[in-house]
Amino acid sequence: MNKYSVTKLPLDILKETAQKHRVLRKQLKLSQAHLAEKSGVSLGSLKRFEQTGNISFESLLKLAHVLGRLHDFETIFSPMEDMTEVEKLFTIKTKGR
């Protein structure tokens, strides 16, 4: 977060994601080299990601797949629910009023 905002900025999310990734990789006892080999992501890209948060989306998905977290991306950018039908249930019109 920058000092003028209470909401996170893209750079904050990048860094947090890289940190969470590093922690999960270590919990699973995977070296960077082994994860790079298993995922098909270059070791350089993996190291850069863990240091800066910068990585291609495809490479991020490959890493998530190997770490068993690909499902975390399934709901990203899901369309918002159309609440029109739900709102109709609460808008009861009576005759004569």
Number of structural domains found in the chain: 1
Least Cα distance to 20 among 63, 57, 83, 78 occurs for 63
* Model confidence pLDDT, tens digit, residues 32-43: 999 999 999 999
43-52 and 32-39 helices cross at what angle (nearest 10)? 120
Record the pTM: 0.76
pLDDT-derived band at 10, boundaries 50, 70, 90: very high
Domain that holds residue 5: 1-97
List the CATH number of the domain containing 88: 1.10.260.40
Please name the residue ranges forming H helices in the chain: 10-27, 32-39, 43-52, 57-66, 84-89
Which residue's structure tokens are 């005759």?
Answer: 95
Residue 94 has pLDDT above 60, yes or no: no
Residue 96 has pLDDT above 70, yes or no: no
